Structure 1
Amino acid sequence: MWQPDGWDVRVRLGVLTPHADVGPESELRAMAPAGVGLHYARVPFGGMGRGGVMEATIPLAPVRAFAEPPQVDDAAALLAAAPVAAIAYAFTSSSYVIGARGEAYMLARLRERAGGLPVVATCAAAVEALRALGAGRIALVDPPWFDETLNELGRGYYEEAGFEVPYAAPCGLPGGQAQVSPQGLHDWVAGRVGDAAEAVVIGGNGFRAVGAIEALEATLGRPVLTANQVLLWSALRAAGAGTDGVEGYGRLFTEAV
């Protein structure tokens, strides 16, 4: 008689996302197992216009500004007023720009504004995931709208964290978010990352990627990590919820210790 209404969940996660980006919501919803509620706060991002329109490459100034107070801090405080157990910061590129130390300061600031709730970020989650999988050498693939400068900042982020990065490049697929497909991403990555890396990291929370994880792992024979995948993994752990029930989205959910 009674239909599911979304209220009966075991844990609720909050997500901070750029105001015009539907990527994090789409992918996190696809991966989240039953019993996980997802609740989003939209944060203004100067690099996106109405309808999610972006320039061919995103400029660094609005990327940096996204991580600065007061807007993201205010959004975290409002989100923390809801009954969420952890908050996830769904924006890769600002961590590249401010670096691991700046990211750590930002997370501490957001935790304070969130009243002590755990706050996790994409790049820090990727580092945690790589270490859990025992991978020390990575291939880094970023969205087409990340230029070489931003991609090199990403390489520097992971090198600073102690990883070797024998391959790093923006993806050469057409640049619009809606133009990316899982098959296209699979074919591009599989043909370029080579054998030197122990894992592949695909950056960009707005980059359509989680649908290609399982196929890429089968083709490449190594773990594949994507922005929203590692963010969900880290947020569930931070909330004390465990990662059981996530199926079809990579070795991370079955092999990470």
Structure 2
Amino acid sequence: MADSQGYRAKVGFLVPSTNTTAQPEIDDLRPIGVTNHIARMTIANSEMVERPGFDQVLDDIRGSATPAIESLITADPDIVAVGVSPEAFWSGVDAQSKVVSAFSEDAGGRPVITSADAVGAALGALGDLRRVAIITPYVKLGDNTVRRFFDDSGFDVVGIEGLGASTPAAISHIGPDRLRTAVAAVDSADVQAIVQVGTNVAMARFAASAEAFLGKPVLSNNAVLYWHALRTLGITDRFPGHGTLFEQH
């Protein structure tokens, strides 16, 4: 018997405990008959301006991911979306499949997707776009790691801009003015698409607006990850107001 509310699908969404952005953004995108179910990985709000702080965040995520997934699957979701960029991008291309495989095992064999999977699928759907500019929530240390992942994945990173958040929770404080500055900093005639990573950055609505005046795709992490979850489940609803990806693909 189908779930009374999620009779089309139930989407499990894994986020760090400091994340206050992903849930409202994906709820704005939820089609009728689909329900979203959040699980939180407990992490400390560590300073991320030096390597030890970044490593602490990663250690916290890795230590709490399995318990969070085990809790999440008691709701019997149809898919698990891992809404945490560090684990998606920082493990490196070679380790990505191993990370997803381990998460899938924790999820009882359910499909598991990450931001890295979603961005690749979105850029492919939009025309196999390869020349990208990237916006991250991090300082330079984190920017370099994300750039390396995209380089190793065969993309040409034309520009990258870090938003400079010093802690995981501080990422959610980044507002439209800073996003506008970042988009202007990375855009150029060579850029085919702008990609924002980091699921605690509230950029879904801004990205849809930015596409209108830039005339090119602007992909926000939460919207892309949720789009990929829906399409993986065979839910192909298209609707306006949330960017080219949801309107046309």
TM range (shorter): 0.7 to 0.9
Q: Deviations over 1:80-137 (max 9, x none)?
A: 2213110100001222321122222111011112111001011221112112212110
TM-score, normalised relative to structure 1: 0.85
Q: Structure 1 pair 241/206, CA: closer, same or farther in 2 (3 Å)?
A: same
Q: Contact between 2:133 and 2:195, CA under 8 Å: does it hold in 1?
A: yes
Deviation of 1:172 after TM superposition, in Å, equals 6.3
1:85-124 → structure 2 map (5 Å cutoff): 85-124=78-117
- Aligned identity (percent) is 27
Match of 1:219 among 209, 213, 216: 213
* More divergent stretch after superposition (59-68 vs 203-212): 59-68
Q: Contact between 1:118 and 1:239, CA under 8 Å: does it hold in 2?
A: no
Aligned mates of 2:119, 2:92 — CA distance in 1: 14
Q: Is residue 171 of structure 1 aligned with residue 169 of structure 2?
A: no
Q: Deviations over 1:16-37 (max 9, x none)?
A: 1101211111211122222220
Q: Contact between 1:141 and 1:168, CA under 8 Å: does it hold in 2?
A: yes
SS in 2 for 1:98: coil
Aligned mates of 2:57, 2:247 — CA distance in 1: 33
Structure 2: where are the runs of 5+ without partners?
none
1:185 counterpart residue number = 179
Deviation of 1:202 after TM superposition, in Å, equals 0.7
Aligned mates of 2:57, 2:190 — CA distance in 1: 31
Q: Is residue 159 of structure 1 aligned with residue 157 of structure 2?
A: no
Aligned AA (2:32): A
Aligned AA (1:162): G
Q: Deviations over 1:213-248 (max 9, x none)?
A: 221101111011111011101111222323x14431
Aligned mates of 1:36, 1:234 — CA distance in 2: 14
Structure 1: where are the runs of 5+ without partners?
1-5, 49-53
Q: Is residue 197 of structure 1 aligned with residue 195 of structure 2?
A: no
Q: Deviations over 1:147-167 (max 9, x none)?
A: 112111111111111110010
Q: Is residue 148 of structure 1 aligned with residue 140 of structure 2?
A: yes
1:3 counterpart residue number = none
Q: Contact between 2:197 and 2:221, CA under 8 Å: does it hold in 1?
A: yes
2:228 counterpart residue number = 234
State the aligned residue count. Answer: 241
